[in-house]
Structure 1
């Protein structure tokens, strides 16, 4: 809900959502959910175990990003020179 609320706030304010352009927040959530799906579906890990491990992976990614001051890389627009 925190990611969703922040996205709604930024969209209503007419800005690009911060979680999509700077902080490793939504990315950590996405990786954790992919990990959960990958553990439960193909490897048939019990849902409870997969959820706990996926939560731990998500928190670890977020904490490492905070500790090392990591941000999502920005894509720079290439401006073409006019001839």
Structure 2
């Protein structure tokens, strides 16, 4: 799991359904955060305010804290897109 996977969940306004939709459109959290605002609004049909949240990486600070906590406590986070994720 990458910091981008976690940041997607911490991005204001992007819920579980929104995250699934974005992953279907872009293939990975890394590609979502690499996309330009216009691409997010056109390709994924996001509202401009949500696209700006992604471009500004609004969830990254919280995601980095979460990842640090996991590492400190020996927790291995698994994203639904990881091969290790249970069926």
TM-score, normalization by structure 2: 0.29
TM-score, normalization by structure 1: 0.30
- More contact order relative to length (CA 8 Å, sep ≥ 6): 2
